[in-house]
Structure 1
Amino acid sequence: GQVFLRAIPDDFDHWVSLGNEEWRFEDVLPYYRKLETDMDFHDDFHGSDGPIIARRHKLEDLLTDQIAFYNACIEAGFPANPDHNHPDATGVGPYALNNPNGIRWSTALGYINPARHRLNLTIRANCAVQRIILDGLDKKRATGVEVVSGGERFTVEAGEVVLSAGAVGSPHLLMLSGIGDPAQLEAAGITVAHNLTGVGKNLRDHPAVTVRWHCKPEFPIPPDGVGAQKVALRYTAEGSRLRNDMIKVMRFNSDERLLLMSVGIYLALSAGEIRIVSSDPGVQPVLDYNYLSDPFDIERLRNGVRLAHSLAEHPEMAQIIDSPQEPTSEQLESDDSLDEWIRRTVGTMHHISCTCKMGPASDPGAVVDQHGRVHGIEGIRIADASVMPDCPRANTNVTTMMIGERIADFIKSND
């Protein structure tokens, strides 16, 4: 966590091509700058007085395993990349992290703490929203939310409801309120209030596998608290038209003395969905990731695993590595056996997004317009990772903050 990595301009070019012309890179860059205080770079691409503090580890401060990974990538021909948040960045270098001095500099610290004493703000903890209340002609306007807190059920009225429940919670709340795919809603015993079939569809994520090696007995265990994700390799997969569509990060498992290299797809072609199964808000929806349904996704992971083993042959890496744990030498012998291992071990990078896709009303998969307003229902906006049309080629952390800033400006402008 705490990876402070921006989406790249190509991501926003794609968003614009889907009918979201107010989300060009030139439009969102001021919001990336507004929200950050970058402790390392001071130029036109970085902010210096925002609420979220970001910094990078210096190369000379990295431990042996991270330096070995960095040097292996350089000698393999990947460029040195001192700033992954530069628009043209690619290659290997330190991640920006929102944890100055080891403090998790969250949006709670950066945004809520300075504002919590404002007289026009009420913060109430331990509240669970059950549904959005719809009223007006044909039940097409939101007037508030139904909430349970401390065993009490009550209504909070609102001129506008803004959902920021995340890429799982926001579509789930819409469906609990009768907004979504009629077939799913009726199967869950929910009365349909508004047919919006894109709700919960288009689930995107960054699928990844982890390559593991046993370390040599003489390799010292890194000290506690060092953590992972200090250095990352972003690169374009062989034969891909999608720039920077792959990510590699190395870390250490002290308990098992394993060196781990994560191989992830930063722009997968496969998409899944969230399905509601009950009208009870306490019953979690089904998350169908549908990983690797597109053949190019498994091809990229396969090549990424082979590249990881190639990097492991670098002399500095070889001084650390004793033997592979998984995939085994036998699993690496053929594409079929390696693909079987990938399908069995693939998992999430925890960047679920795109389940309330932003787009024009003419797009049958779109849930909100480019100002975050839910299509066909007055008085509801969404401002979280669910509105992304596609997963950014970056961890979703900072782009989700940027979305919040941009939609906040739309609200203030009555757009």
Structure 2
Amino acid sequence: MTDKRRDSDPIIPQSLKGSYDTIVVGGGSSGCALAARLSEDSSRSVLLLEAGSDYPDLESMPEELKHPEGHTVVDPRFVSSYQGAPLPGGDPSLTFLRGKVIGGSGAVNGSAFLRGLPEDYDSWGSPLWSWDAVLPAFRRLETDQDFTDSWHGTEGPIGVRRYPRDQWMPHHEALYQAAVKMGFPEKADMNDPVGFGVGPTPRNFGDGLRASAAIGYVLPARERPNFTVQGDCTVTRILFEGTRAIGVEARHNGQTIRIEGDEIILSAGAISSPQLLMLSGVGPADELRALGIDVVAELPGIGKSFTDHPSAAVEFEPRPGAEYPSDCVSSSVTLICTADGSPTRNDLHIIIPVMPPVEEPGGAQWPMTFSVDLGLPESRGELRLASADPDDAPVVEFNYLREERDRARLREGVRLCVELASQSEFDSIIARRVSPLDADLASDAALDRWLEANIGTYYHTCGTCSMGSPSDPMAVVDDHCRVLGVEGLRVVDLSVVPTVMRANTNSTAIMVGERAAEIIRSERPETSTVSAMSGAERS
């Protein structure tokens, strides 16, 4: 690396000096996988920047980020909170969380590791990202401890396993038995391309650890001399010369610095990647000019195809003695099915999540919920800048339930939860239903009103920098993840996914980093490589 720092620049910390071949902005699931894989080419200098904290070894990593049980971490040290409007024209009353730590949301989420369906990836419209093209990346990223067939990997950096049935909580055993009694097929592997039925949830943990991308990818790569990881470094702007990206402006240790690179790759997620593009002058021109931002390139599609999984929670009061034990594991069982009359298969997912106790005047209360989410929603949201200040959170409008088919399918999902809970398998577990009430279930109109008041999110945001053909006026990146209209800039994270897949998103986020690294490395000859990470190397 050569030092291109200008005399007028602030003093750059030693770890950030010089100009890099590749700067990856964002150390989440995609960014960790991408940066680590790119650094396997020893001739490429790679800098990974993360706004949250970086923990360089397992000893320094907080226990909350290592637990394998699959509980969502909400500690403000590790997550950022945003507010969004769940319904069209509504108030920004929905709180949603994003990981702000090395490993990103994959270091704090519920650890479900489901893949989408083959047609989800085929719908992206590029042979580079078809199911046949991405399956090798899915296999390459995992070490599945339960299956060794052609759908699964056995030497990847992410350990995947399912809780054995003798470790399921009674709630999850009851869900499994009730679903089978109602005619749903038993499914041992929810990650095969069929994925329909009820079965154990695949989870990314192994060897007693949550297998985040920080642990699986970055930790084994840290000793490479061409790989630098820097936490507590918040990128506020992409620097351009004309329409070529030449570096980033960032805040680190209380000062503003600039770091130069031959190529900048945004992996900051479906919220922060579009926000950074727009703050830097790439986006809807009229909106940017109205905020006093000079336009570098007009891309009207940025932020305009926001997709997510809307969810609803059917709440019950457990019988005395049926509360969750303090050492319980998270949702061990998933039911995946298709709404009646739906042309999109597997568009309803039902789990019983483990919820923390709520302190009430009479003591701790243990809420028990059936949670249903809608896969492949038709409704689209929008993200736009609130101001030109990078400290101001963007305006997010989810626009859930805008389309009638979304409302109809989610209504069916709620009623299915109620029917499952009414089966005899839950007689010793459930005392009564708390919400929705019978009056809320009496008609579609009443249930719609309940949904509007109780709609939630699975934090599966996608689509704000959608991949597409350069001839598509709403496309933001091409199928090499290059930002259209500029040079030296890519986006590699879930924001490029045109629509959210019918699954939890973490495994796809890692796959996007894996596959993009493969595509990027194919664009130039490599002089030498270092070994790829494997399960054996991690142990």
TM-score, with length taken from structure 2: 0.74
Aligned match of 2:419: 310
Q: Is the 8 A contact 2:201 2:334 kept in 1?
A: yes
1:216 aligns to 2:216 (yes or no): no
Runs of 4+ in 1 over 6 A off after TM superposition: none
Where does 1:376-387 land on structure 2 (aligned, <5 Å)?
376-387=485-496
**In structure 1, what is the equivalent of residue 94 of structure 2?**
none
Report the counterpart of residue 45 of structure 2 in structure 1: none
Q: SS at 2:469's partner residue?
A: coil
Q: Distance in 1 between the 2:199 and 2:208 partners?
A: 19
Of residues 332, 335, 344, the one that matches 1:233 is 335
Corresponding residue SS for 2:449: helix
CA distance in 2, matches of 1:89, 1:152: 50
Query: Do the aligned residues in 1 keep the contact of 2:280 with 2:296 (CA within 8 Å)?
Result: yes
Query: Is 1:64 the counterpart of 2:170 in the alignment?
Result: yes
- 1:181 and 2:290 are equivalent in the alignment: no
Change beyond 3 A, Cα 1:127–1:61? same
1:306-346 deviations in Å (ceiling 9; x for gaps) = 11111112111122211110001111112111110001110
Q: How many angstroms does 1:56 deviate by?
A: 0.1
CA contact (8 A) 1:221 1:254 kept: no
Which runs of no fewer than 5 residues in structure 2 stay unpaired?
1-109, 358-364, 525-539
**Structure 2 matches for 1:246-265, cutoff 5 A?**
246-253=348-355, 255=357, 256-265=365-374
CA deviation digits over 1:228-252, x for unaligned, max 9?
3211111111110001111000134
In structure 2, the CA distance between the partners of 1:414 and 1:253, relative to structure 1 (3 Å rule), is closer
1:373 to 454, 479, 482: 482
Q: Residue 282 of structure 1: SS of its match in structure 2?
A: coil
**Residues 323 and 366 of structure 2 are in contact (CA less than 8 Å); yes or no, is this contact kept in structure 1?**
yes
Distance of 1:150 and 1:370 partners within structure 2? 36
- Provide the secondary structure at the position in 2 that maps to 1:153: strand
| Counterparts of 1:122 and 1:362, CA distance in 2 | 37
Q: CA shift at 1:60, angstroms?
A: 2.6
Match runs of 1:276-355 below 5 Å = 276-355=385-464
One-letter identity of the residue aligned with 2:496 = V
Which of 260, 270, 273 is the aligned partner of 1:167? 270
Pick aligned residue for 1:391 from 473, 480, 500: 500
1:91-126 deviations in whole A, cap 9, x for unaligned? Answer: 100111012255211101011111111111111221
Mean alpha-carbon deviation: is it higher for 93-102 or for 348-357? Answer: 93-102
Aligned to 2:213: 107
Name the CA distance, whole Å, in 1 between partners of 2:499 and 2:354. Answer: 31
Q: Structure 1 residues 370, 254: CA separation in 2 closer, same or farther (over 3 Å shift)? A: closer
57-66 or 379-388, larger mean C-alpha shift = 57-66
Do residues 87 (structure 1) and 193 (structure 2) align? yes
Count matched residues.
408
Q: CA deviation at 1:253?
A: 4.0
Moved more, 126-135 or 314-323: 314-323
Q: Is the 8 A contact 2:127 2:133 kept in 1?
A: no
Q: Which residue of 2 aligns with 1:78?
A: 184
Quote the offset at 1:224 in angstroms: 1.5
Q: Partner amino acid for 1:179?
A: V
Q: 1:195-214, CA deviations, whole angstroms, 9 ceiling, x for partnerless residues? A: 10011110000000100111
**What is the correspondence of 1:140-155 to structure 2 with a 5 Å cutoff?**
140-155=243-258
Structure 1: unaligned runs, 5 residues or longer: none
**Deviates most, 99-108 or 311-320:** 99-108
* Contact 1:246 1:267 (8 Å CA) reproduced: no
Among 296, 301, 304, the alignment partner of 1:193 is 296
Cα separation, 2, equivalents of 1:370 and 1:315: 51
Deviation at 1:12, TM superposition (A): 1.6
- 2:379 — aligned with what? 270
Mapped partners of 1:328, 1:258: distance in 2: 16
Aligned partners of 1:203 and 1:274 also within 8 Å: yes
Q: Which moved more, 1:396-405 or 1:317-326?
A: 317-326
- Structure 1 residues 271, 102: CA separation in 2 closer, same or farther (over 3 Å shift)? farther
> What code does the residue aligned with 1:122 have?
T
The 2-side partners of 1:258 and 1:180 are apart by: 43
Task: Report the TM-score, using the length of structure 1 for normalisation.
Answer: 0.96
Secondary structure of the residue aligned to 2:150 is coil
CA RMSD between the two structures: 1.2
- Alignment pair present for 1:404 and 2:513: yes
